[in-house]
Amino acid sequence: MSSLKGITIAGLLLAAGLLILGGCGSSKNDNAAFIDQTGHPAGWLPAGHMTAAQTDESVCAQCHGDDYSGGISNVSCTLCHLGGVNSEHPLSWGTGSQIALNHAPYAQGYGTAGCANMYCHGTTLTGVADSGPSCSSCHLGGPTSVHDATFSQNTGTTHAPYALANGTAACANAVCHGTTLSGVVGSGPSCTSCHLGGPTSVHPTNWGAAILTMHGPYVVANSTDSCSNLNCHGADLQGVAGSGPSCRSCHSFP
């Protein structure tokens, strides 16, 4: 009786093992999501698994656990899906363009370790095809620097050579200065906050070459508010090196 019982238990364990392996795929099916002894097929990550997960994510639960925390695979889905199996980023980031604005506090608080892997933004943060873009597509000077590294701290005077040499393509996107360079809330300001005549013209376009004679009526009508900032003629109108001269260079009176 004990011998028969032992055979029955062994048979049940074997059957259970086969069911587990069967749930993860079959080595006889080259198109299976999971292949016995070898794991997922080549190219499965990062893009390959999305279709299967979107179709029926319960297939993943058979190996990664009902809560996707590892299961028999010992690989948690949250290694990449920080906000849970249905959200790559933390839920607090929101969706769409909100992600670009809300990721900064996370990166500043936790570093880029969660971003820098071969399935998300790449181990060197240079992007992954069909997954996360290169961080330098917005962070021109590297993951910890928004602008080009040559800008220095005084971006008002050092961005001009970059824009003249490279154009405004890198500035004009939905998460930096806006696709039309009209600014993005919580990110880059409108270019016209300094470039009154548009991104390629500092002063209003009707000033033309006769700036010295045309600026008078503008200032009388609009005051000096748009002139007196740190990037144009200085907060006190005393001039900015590499940008606007001191107003007192012509206007000797207060």
- Model confidence at 23, in pLDDT bands (50, 70, 90)? very low
List pLDDT tens digits, range 158-183: 888 888 888 888 899 888 899 999 99
Residue ranges with strand state E in the chain: none
Question: Does the pLDDT of residue 254 top 70, yes or no?
Answer: no
Q: Is 39 helix (H, G, I), strand (E, B) or coil?
A: strand
What is the predicted pLDDT for the residue at 123?
94
What is the predicted pLDDT for the residue at 37?
67
CA distances from 207 to 192, 197, 202, 221, 248 (A): 15, 9, 10, 14, 20
- Model confidence at 67, in pLDDT bands (50, 70, 90)? very high
Question: Does the pLDDT of residue 32 top 60, yes or no?
Answer: no
Question: Does the pLDDT of residue 50 top 70, yes or no?
Answer: yes
| Integer Cα distance of 119 and 67 in angstroms | 21
List pLDDT tens digits, range 220-238: 998 998 899 888 899 999 9
Stretch 58-84: mean pLDDT = 89
Q: Report the chain's mean pLDDT, rounded to a whole number.
A: 80
Question: Does the pLDDT of residue 43 top 80, yes or no?
Answer: no
Q: Other C-beta atoms within 10 Å of 39: how many?
A: 14
Question: Does the pLDDT of residue 20 top 50, yes or no?
Answer: no
- Model confidence at 36, in pLDDT bands (50, 70, 90)? low
| Integer Cα distance of 109 and 148 in angstroms | 22
